[in-house]
Amino acid sequence: MDDDLRSAPSGIVIEALCREDGKNSLIRVYPDRIEWIKEESISSLPRPKSQPPVIPLRTVTSVRARKDGPLFSKLVLRTGEATLSFRMYSPQAVQMRDVIAGLVAAEPPEVAVAVGGPATVGPAVAAPNADELRQLEELRDEGLLSPEQFEAAKAQLGSG
């Protein structure tokens, strides 16, 4: 097993093992980024260690945990450029989703905002009910709300 998978550096908020393409990998979440550390196969030729792929938290647009069998779930991360999914035990996927969603909500993404002239960069401003709507969508996508329940709850958000 790779040394990166055995020794964890400090500053990690949460980490979990996942399995992709027949290989183990490790997802480490820091306050500002997510690192995806892939284990090299035994048949791989020795080569210098490279930096793990890094996903800045400010680029994450959504995070979901979707069932993938009786024991596993897929943690699905969407960024402006890609969609990544990681298969892990369901309780880990749900915990990882909650932690990442909390970190993303605490640090709004940087977006270009035009204010009477050239665009400036500043924090995104969300609609008051955006978080509640996102949570309802997650519950619907996970099968915990029927389409009718989702529409009723969404209508209630609009009137509140």
Query: Can you give the pTM of this predicted structure?
Result: 0.57
Cα 9 to the chain's mean position, in Å? 20
Nearest Cα to 108, choosing from 96, 129, 126, 120? 126
Q: Are strands 33-38 and 23-29 parallel, antiparallel or unpaired?
A: antiparallel
139 within some domain: no
Helix-strand-coil split of the chain, %, nearest 5? 30, 35, 35
Q: What is the CATH number of the domain that holds 27?
A: 2.30.29.30
The Cα 124–Cα 108 span in angstroms is 6
CA contacts within 13 A on the Cβ side of 152: 5
Domain that holds residue 103: 3-107
| pLDDT tens-digit profile, the chain (160 residues) | 444 444 556 788 899 888 877 788 888 999 999 988 876 655 555 555 555 688 898 889 899 999 988 889 999 989 888 888 889 998 999 999 999 988 888 865 444 444 444 444 444 444 446 777 777 787 777 777 778 877 877 777 665 5
| 31 domain residue, yes or no | yes
**Which of helix, strand or coil describes residue 30?**
coil
Q: Is residue 137 part of a domain?
A: no
Residues in the chain: 160
What's the domain count of the chain? 1
